[in-house]
């Protein structure tokens, strides 16, 4: 079992769309960033990458790369999901909080949960999204920005596979001693 924590913050400015959890939210300001600046998805991605010891979103999607300018963070989250799959990680659950004084996010939380689940090919009951204010305190309370925190739990394929040690591999990338498969999970592609 591996646990990861992610944190992100973006400044609110005029002239940008506000996108949180892959949902376009009607508001007079949006978040400033190289991509769509989806603060929730950025925190989730950093938590996932951190739990897998695979760096952070700046390593994988640098803001100096024009390929990521204005990109949907849902597409980046899908890439993180594929990276986890390639490294034989299974998502246990995601618990995230968005901290914003305004706008109220409660009407959009279920769609945010569904977007995250769909991008990662997991069940929506593995994703929780909460929203809170800071009661007028700090930069979020003053309406200068929005922040987000996320905690995730990952497990390895080895936790579900009889006789599989994730640190040992046999030929073709398949687990040694596992008879060439991971107890029928169908997730390994070592013989492709």
DSSP letter assigned to residue 107: G
Give the C-alpha separation, 148 to 37, whole Å. 12
**Which amino acids are annotated as binding site, given as ranges?**
8-10, 34-35, 42, 56-58, 61-65, 132-135, 139
- Going by the annotation, the residues of the binding site for a divalent metal cation are 8, 10, 42
- The three-class DSSP label of residue 96 is strand
Contact of 127 with 86, CB cutoff 8 Å:
no
Residues 38/73, Cβ–Cβ less than 8 Å: yes
87 closest CA partner among 190, 15, 191: 190
Q: In what order do the strands lie in the sheet with 2-13?
A: 30-31, 2-13, 145-156, 89-99, 127-132
Burial state string for 4-20 with b = 16 or more CB within 10 A and e = fewer than 16: bebebbbebeeebebbb
Alpha-carbon distance of 127 to 97, in angstroms, equals 11
Helix (H) or strand (E) holding 76: helix 73-86
């Amino acid at each position: 079992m591996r646990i990861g924590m992610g944190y992100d913050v973006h400044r609110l400015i005029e002239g940008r769309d506000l996108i949180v959890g892959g949902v376009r939210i009607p508001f007079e300001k949006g978040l400033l960033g190289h991509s769509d600046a989806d603060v929730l998805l950025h925190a989730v991605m950093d938590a996932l990458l951190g739990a897998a010891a695979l760096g952070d979103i700046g390593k994988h999607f640098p803001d100096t790369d024009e390929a990521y300018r204005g990109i949907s963070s849902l597409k980046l989250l899908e890439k993180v999901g594929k990276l986890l799959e390639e490294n034989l990680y299974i998502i246990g659950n995601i618990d995230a909080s968005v901290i914003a004084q305004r706008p109220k996010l409660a009407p959009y939380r279920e769609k945010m949960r569904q977007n995250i689940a769909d991008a990662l090919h997991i069940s929506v009951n593995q994703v929780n999204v909460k929203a809170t204010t800071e009661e007028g305190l700090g930069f979020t309370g003053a309406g200068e920005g929005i922040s987000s925190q996320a905690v995730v739990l990952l497990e390895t394929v080895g936790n579900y596979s009889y006789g599989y040690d994730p640190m040992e591999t046999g030929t073709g990338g398949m687990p040694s001693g596992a008879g060439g498969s991971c107890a029928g999970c169908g997730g390994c592609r070592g013989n492709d």
